[in-house]
Structure 1
């Protein structure tokens, strides 16, 4: 079962401010509850080809994976893919001006393997919930 989860939130901050925080992978632990650490493998800042090690925990399992930025339109869109790890995943961030703030959309899609494949329906619900809460945390972080 292919996993494809997308959530959006209106954030009361300028696109540049939201994209500056969300588009900096090193800041992910500040607003993603399940991401505990990010370490650059390449020299910052974020650009196409940048690679980072992510340490996370999801559904009680510790995860370690490498993300690579494969598309970047500063202030508009960033796409990262896992280059290694237990669940091949693509994550897309988009930022659009909306009602005096920013509409941010976060999308995760991939093809689970092994245990993840069996647990995919449960994972989709858990991912949607976690991603919604993460965008809420991002909104608070950017507003402060």
Structure 2
């Protein structure tokens, strides 16, 4: 699965990226996430490359607990994370680009579903795409 969604948000890039890259806001704008906690700080402290965030989400009627490790953190342009624990390997990338109307925000999710989620694989991409579009809608409203 490799799914990406984009949206122009009529707010400054720094404002949108700062809100989206703060793990404490994950449950406010990311579909299905009910909890997020910083479980490992970056080597220099705080949130950055090497930090890990545990997320609790609900997808297809099931609870999913997974941990994302920050691979790249370049505010206000990029946040790239990869799962180190969870039901299947995945990578989540947020990008924020300047746009004449504000910010072009993009979210890309790549993953290799297995088990129950592998059986529902034909459903995964359309559902993830729909959720990413809702994420970006909510990000525009809350940032």
TM-score normalised by structure 2 residue count: 0.94
2:6 match? 8
For residues 61 and 100 of structure 1, the distance between their equivalents in structure 2, rounded to whole angstroms, comes to 38
For residues 136 and 45 of structure 1, the distance between their equivalents in structure 2, rounded to whole angstroms, comes to 28
For residues 12 and 72 of structure 1, the distance between their equivalents in structure 2, rounded to whole angstroms, comes to 23
Alignment match of 1:29 (pick from 4, 10, 27)? 27
For residues 26 and 69 of structure 1, the distance between their equivalents in structure 2, rounded to whole angstroms, comes to 15
TM-score normalised by structure 1 residue count: 0.93
User: CA offsets, 1:40-96, max 9 Å, x none?
Assistant: 112464200000110000110100011110111111111011100002110000000
Where in structure 1 are there 5+ consecutive unaligned residues?
none
Alignment match of 2:37 (pick from 36, 39, 55)? 39
1:125 match? 126
Give the match's secondary structure for 1:48: coil
2:85 match? 84
For residues 93 and 33 of structure 1, the distance between their equivalents in structure 2, rounded to whole angstroms, comes to 15
- What is the Cα-based RMSD across aligned positions, in Å? 1.1
Q: Report 1:55-134 matches (<5 A).
A: 55-134=56-135
Contact kept? 1:89, 1:111, Cα under 8 Å: yes
User: CA offsets, 1:9-54, max 9 Å, x none?
Assistant: 0001101001001111221101012000001112464200000110
For residues 122 and 100 of structure 2, the distance between their equivalents in structure 1, rounded to whole angstroms, comes to 34
For residues 23 and 49 of structure 1, the distance between their equivalents in structure 2, rounded to whole angstroms, comes to 14
Matched positions, count = 140
Contact kept? 2:9, 2:101, Cα under 8 Å: no
Where in structure 2 are there 5+ consecutive unaligned residues?
none
Contact kept? 2:49, 2:72, Cα under 8 Å: yes
